[in-house]
Amino acid sequence: MANYTAADIKALRERTGAGMLDVKKALDEANGDADKAMEIIRIKGLKGVTKREGRSTAEGLVAAQVNDGVGVLVEVNCETDFVAKAAPFIEFSNKVLAAAVASGASDVDGLLAAELDGKPVSEQVVEAGALLGEKIVVRRVARLEGKLVSAYLHKTSKDLPAQVGVLFAVDGEGAAAEEAAHDVAVHIAAFAPTYLTRDDVPAELVENERRIADETARAEGKPEAALTKIVEGRLTGFFKEGVLLDQAFAKDAKKSVAQVLQEAGVTATGFARFRVGA
Euclidean distance between CA atoms 93 and 63, whole angstroms? 7
Same domain? For 75 and 39 the reply is no
What CATH number is attached to the domain comprising 81? 3.30.479.20
Same domain? For 143 and 83 the reply is yes
Is 134 within the bounds of a domain?
yes
Same domain? For 24 and 119 the reply is no
Same domain? For 155 and 116 the reply is yes
Do residues 98 and 109 make contact, with C-beta atoms less than 8 angstroms apart? no
Same domain? For 42 and 76 the reply is no
pLDDT at 105: 96
Same domain? For 174 and 63 the reply is yes
Euclidean distance between CA atoms 130 and 26, whole angstroms? 14
Residues of the chain with pLDDT under 50: 1, 46-50
Same domain? For 43 and 67 the reply is no
Q: What's the number of domains the chain is made of?
A: 2
pLDDT at 224: 87
Is 138 within the bounds of a domain?
yes
114-151 confidence digits (pLDDT tens): 999 999 999 999 888 888 888 899 999 999 999 999 99
Indicate the burial class of 243 (C-beta count within 10 angstroms; 0-12, 13-18, 19 or more): buried
pLDDT at 47: 46
pLDDT at 41: 73
Is 15 within the bounds of a domain?
yes
Same domain? For 43 and 148 the reply is no
Same domain? For 87 and 190 the reply is yes
Same domain? For 140 and 271 the reply is yes
Same domain? For 92 and 184 the reply is yes
Domain that holds residue 19: 6-47
User: Around 120, how many Cα atoms within 13 Å sit in the side-chain half-sphere?
Assistant: 10
